[in-house]
Amino acid sequence: DGNFTKADVMPAEPPASFVGQSSFVDFDGDGYQDHLLPVCLDKSCQSSAIYLAKPGSEKCRNVFERQSSLSKRETDGEGVVGRVRRKPDSL
Protein backbone atom coordinates (compact mmCIF):
# COMPACT_ATOMS: atom_id res chain seq x y z
CA ASP A 1 0.00 0.00 0.00
CA GLY A 2 3.06 2.28 -0.10
CA ASN A 3 3.15 2.85 3.66
CA PHE A 4 6.18 1.91 5.76
CA THR A 5 5.24 -0.81 8.23
CA LYS A 6 7.57 -2.39 10.77
CA ALA A 7 6.22 -5.78 11.84
CA ASP A 8 9.28 -7.18 13.63
CA VAL A 9 9.69 -6.68 17.38
CA MET A 10 13.14 -5.90 18.76
CA PRO A 11 14.27 -5.43 22.38
CA ALA A 12 13.33 -1.98 23.70
CA GLU A 13 16.64 -1.37 25.49
CA PRO A 14 19.93 -1.95 23.63
CA PRO A 15 22.74 -3.23 25.90
CA ALA A 16 24.62 0.06 25.70
CA SER A 17 25.29 3.39 27.42
CA PHE A 18 25.03 5.46 24.24
CA VAL A 19 23.39 4.57 20.95
CA GLY A 20 24.65 5.91 17.61
CA GLN A 21 22.92 6.58 14.29
CA SER A 22 21.00 3.65 12.81
CA SER A 23 21.65 2.49 9.26
CA PHE A 24 19.12 0.53 7.23
CA VAL A 25 20.77 -1.27 4.32
CA ASP A 26 20.55 -4.68 2.68
CA PHE A 27 24.04 -5.71 3.88
CA ASP A 28 23.83 -9.38 2.88
CA GLY A 29 22.03 -8.94 -0.46
CA ASP A 30 18.99 -11.04 0.48
CA GLY A 31 16.50 -8.35 -0.60
CA TYR A 32 15.54 -7.30 2.96
CA GLN A 33 16.78 -4.26 4.86
CA ASP A 34 19.01 -4.99 7.84
CA HIS A 35 19.39 -2.65 10.83
CA LEU A 36 22.95 -1.70 11.84
CA LEU A 37 23.35 0.11 15.17
CA PRO A 38 26.69 1.38 16.59
CA VAL A 39 26.80 1.67 20.40
CA CYS A 40 29.12 2.59 23.27
CA LEU A 41 29.14 -0.10 25.94
CA ASP A 42 30.47 2.21 28.67
CA LYS A 43 30.07 5.92 29.47
CA SER A 44 33.57 6.86 28.23
CA CYS A 45 33.04 4.89 24.98
CA GLN A 46 36.29 2.97 25.47
CA SER A 47 34.35 -0.19 24.64
CA SER A 48 32.04 -0.18 21.64
CA ALA A 49 30.09 -2.54 19.42
CA ILE A 50 28.05 -2.59 16.25
CA TYR A 51 24.82 -4.57 16.40
CA LEU A 52 23.05 -6.08 13.40
CA ALA A 53 19.34 -6.87 13.45
CA LYS A 54 18.02 -8.96 10.59
CA PRO A 55 14.35 -9.24 9.58
CA GLY A 56 12.66 -12.15 11.33
CA SER A 57 15.26 -12.32 14.11
CA GLU A 58 14.36 -11.42 17.69
CA LYS A 59 17.99 -10.76 18.69
CA CYS A 60 20.61 -8.21 17.73
CA ARG A 61 24.02 -9.72 16.91
CA ASN A 62 27.37 -8.04 17.61
CA VAL A 63 29.04 -8.05 14.20
CA PHE A 64 32.54 -8.31 15.73
CA GLU A 65 31.88 -11.46 17.82
CA ARG A 66 32.79 -13.99 15.13
CA GLN A 67 35.12 -11.88 12.99
CA SER A 68 38.30 -13.08 14.74
CA SER A 69 37.49 -16.71 13.86
CA LEU A 70 37.30 -15.94 10.13
CA SER A 71 40.72 -15.63 8.53
CA LYS A 72 39.91 -15.91 4.81
CA ARG A 73 37.51 -14.05 2.59
CA GLU A 74 34.33 -15.90 3.45
CA THR A 75 30.79 -15.38 4.64
CA ASP A 76 29.32 -16.39 7.97
CA GLY A 77 25.76 -16.59 6.61
CA GLU A 78 24.82 -13.19 8.02
CA GLY A 79 27.28 -10.95 6.24
CA VAL A 80 30.58 -10.91 4.44
CA VAL A 81 33.81 -10.59 6.38
CA GLY A 82 37.05 -10.35 4.45
CA ARG A 83 40.49 -8.82 4.19
CA VAL A 84 41.07 -5.34 2.84
CA ARG A 85 43.37 -5.48 -0.16
CA ARG A 86 46.08 -2.88 -0.51
CA LYS A 87 46.65 -1.20 -3.83
CA PRO A 88 50.08 -1.84 -5.34
CA ASP A 89 52.65 0.90 -4.74
CA SER A 90 53.52 0.96 -8.44
CA LEU A 91 52.15 -0.46 -11.67
Q: Tell me, what's the pLDDT at 58?
A: 76
Q: Do the domain assignments include residue 40? A: yes
Among residues 57, 63, 68, which one has the least CA distance to residue 37?
A: 63
Decide if 77 is inside a domain: no
Q: Residue 41: inside a domain, yes or no? A: yes
pLDDT recorded at residue 83: 43
Judge whether 32 and 26 are in contact, CB under 8 Å.
Answer: yes
Query: What is the count of structural domains for the chain?
Result: 1
- Is 74 part of any domain? no
What pLDDT score was predicted for residue 72? 41
Q: Which residues of 10-43 are buried (b: 16+ CB within 10 A; e: fewer)?
A: eeeebebeeeeeeeeeebbeeeeebbbbbbbeee
- 3 lies in some domain: no
Residues of the domain holding 47: 10-64
In a domain, 84, yes or no: no
pLDDT, tens digit (0-9, with 9 covering 90-100), for 22-81: 899 888 888 888 888 898 888 888 888 888 888 887 778 888 876 545 444 444 444 444
Q: Are 20 and 37 in contact (CB under 8 A)?
A: yes
pTM score above 0.75: no
Whether residue 60 is contained in a domain is answered as yes
